[in-house]
Structure 1
Amino acid sequence: MFTGIVEEVGVLKSIRRGTHSAVLEIQASVVLEDIHLGDSIAVNGVCLTATSFSSTHFTADVMHETLNRSSLASLRPGSRVNLERAMAANGRFGGHIVAGHVDGVGQVRKIQQDDNAIWYTIGADPQVLRYVVEKGSITIDGISLTVAAVTKDSFSISAIPHTVAVTVLKDRKVGDAVNLETDIIGKYVEKLLTPAEEPAAAPTRITKEFLTRCGF
């Protein structure tokens, strides 16, 4: 579990591609301070497992499913990535509940300066937008942000200069792909409010003919 508060920006040193998978080697410093094999680290909002590490980098395997559902496949050596370690139970909860399970990939449609803020408009599919609400939370490339506006095919957020400066938001340009994770609470509420399907009735041998034979 994560909070969407990016701890540092790392650099992809190499990507070894398999037939349907990949191994990322990422240069970092902060997230390596107390790293252990098997630790979860969010990379641009995608929860990955550290499979090896040194004093300067860590590696993580990326499965076929993850490559299909995120923008990680578009990374190249030298790409900057947002990094966050799993949430500590004894720390402040600064963002919102982030699972690191990407719901879809959006596209940057517009970037606009607004005094001391920068507006980003992100196009997204309907199955993602159904869980995006004004003033609700959204995760873009692992960054916990507040939704400022929603339309039928996009949503917008307003980011402060600090957030842009310390994350890969400042690298994003119109047309770039971004990982999106909607607020997990909405998805659970929808599931719980959806009527469960009734199990199919078991076949019965009680027929009109059977009842007649038995004197009914």
Structure 2
Amino acid sequence: MFTGLVETMGKVKELRLLGRRNQLVIEEPGIAQQVKSGDSVAINGVCLTVVQCEGDRLIFDVMPETLRKTNLRSLTRGDYVNMERALAMGDRLGGHLLTGHIDGVGQVSARRTEGNAIIFTIHAPEEVTSLLVEKGSVAVDGISLTVGDLEPKGFWVSIIPHTLENTVLQHRRPGDKVNLEADLIGKYVLRYLKRPAPGRPGGITLDFLGQHGFLS
């Protein structure tokens, strides 16, 4: 599990697309000295396992499915990535709970400044937006953020300068792809509401709302 509070940015040294065994090599001396083989690290919000430590470099195996479902495939040498080690028991939960399992890839459609806030509008697939609510939580490239509001085909978030300066969002421009993970609690609530109960069809219906006092 992760919190969405990015610890540092690492630099991509190599993305090895080897077919049966794809590997991502990242250089970051701080985290590299604090993890070992087998540890989990979130890279742009994607939970990856360290398979080898080489000085200031970490090597991760990357599954083909992960490359298909995230923006990691587009990484090139010299790119920066957000990094966060797995949450340890007793740590403060400053963001919100994240699994590191990406729900979908969005695309930055606009970026503007309003006062000291930097506002990103993100076009997102329906399978992600269906899990979001205004002022709820969402992870963008592994960063715990608050949904400012929902839009017809996405949502927007407001970033403070500190977050911009210390994460890969400083490099994001319209057209760039970002990894998205919706709030874990929202996923379970939606699944529960869609689950058929004995004696009634699946999903929320007018009859169901009336029986439970939501309609007069």
TM-score relative to the length of structure 1: 0.88
In the alignment, structure 1 residue 7 sits paired with structure 2 residue 10? no
Q: What SS class does the counterpart of residue 185 from structure 2 fall into?
A: helix
Alpha-carbon distance in 2 for matches of 1:78, 1:99: 27
In the alignment, structure 1 residue 194 sits paired with structure 2 residue 194? yes
- Residue aligning to 1:147: 147
In the alignment, is the contact (CA less than 8 A) between 1:21 and 1:67 conserved in 2?
Answer: no
Instruction: Report runs of 4+ in structure 1 exceeding 2 Å deviation.
Output: 192-198
Q: Deviations over 1:123-170 (max 9, x none)?
A: 011111001111000000000000001012010000000000000000
- Residue aligning to 2:86: 86
Q: Deviations over 1:1-38 (max 9, x none)?
A: 00000000000001111226520110012222321211
**Structure showing greater Rg:** 1
1:62-211 aligned within 5 A: 62-196=62-196
- Residue aligning to 2:51: 51
Structure 2 gap segments, 5+ residues each: 199-216
Structure 1 gap segments, 5+ residues each: 199-216
Letter paired with 1:155 = F
In the alignment, is the contact (CA less than 8 A) between 1:7 and 1:30 conserved in 2?
Answer: no
The count of aligned residue pairs is 198
In the alignment, is the contact (CA less than 8 A) between 2:33 and 2:56 conserved in 1?
Answer: no
In the alignment, is the contact (CA less than 8 A) between 2:100 and 2:181 conserved in 1?
Answer: yes
Alpha-carbon distance in 2 for matches of 1:92, 1:59: 28
Aligned CA RMSD, in angstroms, stands at 1.3
Letter paired with 1:174 = P
1:21-40 aligned within 5 A: 22-40=22-40
- Residue aligning to 2:214: none
In the alignment, is the contact (CA less than 8 A) between 2:131 and 2:190 conserved in 1?
Answer: no
Alpha-carbon distance in 1 for matches of 2:149, 2:193: 26
Identity %: 46
Alpha-carbon distance in 1 for matches of 2:29, 2:157: 29
Measure how far apart 1:190 and its partner are: 1.7
In the alignment, is the contact (CA less than 8 A) between 1:43 and 1:142 conserved in 2?
Answer: yes
Measure how far apart 1:195 and its partner are: 2.9
